Amino acid sequence: TGRRANSFSRNRRGSSDGPNDGRISAHSFSFRELATATRNFKPTNLIGEGGFGRVYKGRLESTDQ
């Protein structure tokens, strides 16, 4: 079994006009998916670092997010 990471999102307006009705939802990604999305955690994709580690920007090919 591989390690998974979670992505959290919320309706920014807090309105109830959508599939999530303003609730928080989560999606799990495999390490391989994250490595591909961030181009193997390329240093130029590093956004910052915090208490939980480094934060990278990336693009998910399968969902275009």
Question: Distance of CA 13 to CAs 17, 20, 41, 58, Å?
Answer: 10, 12, 31, 24
Low-confidence residues in the chain, pLDDT < 50:
16
DSSP one-letter code for 3 = -
Taking the model in full, what pTM does it have? 0.57
What does the pLDDT read at residue 63? 63
- Residue pLDDT, tens place only, 11-21: 555 554 556 56
Helix ranges restricted to H, the chain: 31-37
pLDDT of the residue at 27: 84
pLDDT of residue 54: 96
pLDDT score recorded for residue 30: 92
The H helix count followed by the E strand count for the chain is 1, 4
**DSSP code of 16?**
S
Which residue in this structure is represented by tokens 């109830």? Answer: 16
